Amino acid sequence: MAGFRRGRYVARFADTPEDLTAAQRLRHLCFRGGEGLDADPFDELCLHVLVEEADGGDLVCCFRLLPFRDGTEIGASYAAQFYGLESLRDYSGRMVEMGRFCIRPGLRDPDVLRVAWGAMTEYVDSEGVELLFGCSSFQGTEADKHMDAFALLADRHLAPKRWLPRVKAPRVFRFASRLGLGAPNLKLAQKAMPPLLRTYLVMGGWVSDHAVVDNDLGTMHVFTGLEIAAIPSARKRLLRAT
């Protein structure tokens, strides 16, 4: 991923302590607000991807990647703290966890997301990754304002039963059992859906049947999986063209 570029933006791996600090500073601004560093022990294990303005080098987006040989290692993932992932231990292909994805507040340029996913596609192809997974977050810890989005997830996007995560966290919202029979307002659901999760879903991604309430970050998140082989061919061509 040496200088992956589109439009005004370029993606690269962090390769210095200063790069990691810049990512942690942006994460803190996005997830916690204000000045500070968002850091945890997983940072030392991950590859960190930075999306910067090509002119000037200002950081506009970042995320981290934690690769696994297969499902036998999934217990060491960030998501395994919150979800029972025993069903995925039998997954035989290479996996990568994508986490701490964030875009500078107020930036609306769709090329940022395109560059991020283009860089991810390049990594997935080069490493032979078969499953991409992570936690997709909704802002806030109250479910009320996300009801239509949760109803849409319950109606159309639940994980296959063979991979479905189990409840593990102490505080969860079991949206599938509460909203599985409801008809979502599609317009409101799409509006409430986080951009990262929306991108997962249009590529054939799936989610857990419950959301975890994360009081530390002030979010509700769902486990999200995307089997690379299931991405529609047309969508793959678009990603690789990017």
Q: What is the pTM of this model?
A: 0.93
> Mean pLDDT score of the chain, rounded to an integer?
92
Q: Distance (Å, rounded) from C-alpha 82 to C-alpha 135? A: 9
Number of domains in the chain: 1
Three-class SS of 66-122: EEECCHHHHHHCCHHHCEECHHHHHCCCCEEEEEEEEECCCCCCHHHHHHHHHHHHH
Do the domain assignments include residue 143?
A: yes
Question: Which ranges of the chain would DSSP assign to H, the alpha helix?
Answer: 17-31, 110-127, 147-156, 175-179, 186-192, 195-202, 233-241
Q: Distance (Å, rounded) from C-alpha 83 to C-alpha 166? A: 6
Do the domain assignments include residue 103?
A: yes
Look at the block and give the residue holding tokens 């200088």.
3
| Lowest-pLDDT range of 43-47, 130-134, 142-146 | 142-146
Do the domain assignments include residue 88?
A: yes
Say what angle helices 110-127 and 195-202 make with each other, to 10 degrees: 50
Mean of pLDDT values over 196-225: 95
Do the domain assignments include residue 231?
A: yes
Do the domain assignments include residue 48?
A: no
Q: Distance (Å, rounded) from C-alpha 231 to C-alpha 226? A: 8
Instruction: Give pLDDT, residue 36.
Output: 98
Do the domain assignments include residue 47?
A: no
Q: Distance (Å, rounded) from C-alpha 56 to C-alpha 54? A: 6
> What is the per-residue pLDDT across 179-192, written as a single tens digit (0 to 9) for each?
554 677 888 888 88
Neighbours of 197 (CB within 10 A): 24
Do the domain assignments include residue 98?
A: yes
Say what angle helices 110-127 and 233-241 make with each other, to 10 degrees: 110
Mean of pLDDT values over 20-46: 97
Do the domain assignments include residue 191?
A: yes
Torsion of CA 132, 134, 140, 145, to 10 degrees: 40
pLDDT category, 241, cuts 50, 70, 90? Answer: low
Q: Distance (Å, rounded) from C-alpha 110 to C-alpha 121? A: 17
> What is the per-residue pLDDT across 93-138, written as a single tens digit (0 to 9) for each?
999 999 999 999 999 898 999 899 999 999 999 999 999 999 999 9
Instruction: Give pLDDT, residue 179.
Output: 59
196 compared with 75, residue with greater pLDDT: 75
Range of the domain at 182: 65-241
**Tokens coding 66:** 């934690």
